[in-house]
Amino acid sequence: MEGLVKPEVLAYLAGFVDGEGTIGIGVYKKPSRRRIAVGHISLYNTDPTVPTLMKEAFGGSVSIKEGRKPHHNTGYVWQASGRTAYPVVGLLYPYLTVKRLQAETFLDFEEWRQRRRQELNRCRNGFRGYKEADYQEMLMYATRSKELNMRGGTG
């Protein structure tokens, strides 16, 4: 990805993410009752041009979101999560202003998760899931992310 998207395009897209996007970490329960944290980035706009450009440049997906009320416009949402989102946030990070703290939290989380997974993979039987202390660490990152993304919050 890096080198394929020009710096001025990255700056342009980062501006959209600053104004119309979200960078966060969510904690989910899988059907197996295992908890897992996943980083994500998304962008909403009523014009499909930028969400489509994000998909073409970085992958992820674009979905259509109908307005909740008749006078609301249809919106287009680009989103990526996990391994797809990590390089995107890394590329946009130098150009982000408003979402810079969210991006730092996201990048710190993904780097921790990758390190921890490598450590657990070295175990005798390979990766068999995270430990309780790992879930607590994930929850800490997710809580920080949620606080940063609150309306009217800092960042």
pLDDT at 123 over 80: no
- Confidence (pLDDT) at 33: 67
Is 1 contained in some domain?
no
- Confidence (pLDDT) at 53: 94
Is 154 contained in some domain?
no
- Confidence (pLDDT) at 124: 62
Q: Tell me the mean pLDDT in the region 4-26.
A: 94
- Confidence (pLDDT) at 25: 96
Across the beta sheet with 61-65, the strand order is: 21-29, 35-45, 75-81, 61-65
Is 64 contained in some domain?
yes
Domain of 15 in residue numbering reads as 7-149
Instruction: State the DSSP code for 73.
Output: P
Instruction: State the DSSP code for 5.
Output: B
Tokens 């259509």 -> residue: 64
Is 33 contained in some domain?
yes
Is 20 contained in some domain?
yes
| DSSP states along 74-101 | PEEEEEEEHHHHHHHHHHHGGG-STTHH
Condensed to tens digits (0 to 9), the pLDDT of residues 68-103 reads: 777 778 899 999 999 999 999 999 999 999 999 999
CATH number at residue 83: 3.10.28.10
How many structural domains does the chain have? 1
Tokens 């450009």 -> residue: 53
Q: Tell me the mean pLDDT in the region 1-24.
A: 89
Query: Do 78 and 60 form a contact (C-beta atoms < 8 A)?
Result: yes
Is 92 contained in some domain?
yes
Condensed to tens digits (0 to 9), the pLDDT of residues 29-81 reads: 777 767 788 999 999 999 999 999 999 999 999 999 887 777 778 899 999 99
Q: How far apart are CA 13 and CA 17, in angstroms?
A: 6
Query: Do 95 and 10 form a contact (C-beta atoms < 8 A)?
Result: yes
Is 67 contained in some domain?
yes
* 154 Cβ neighbours under 8 A, 6+ residues apart: 101, 148
pLDDT at 154 over 60: no
Is 2 contained in some domain?
no
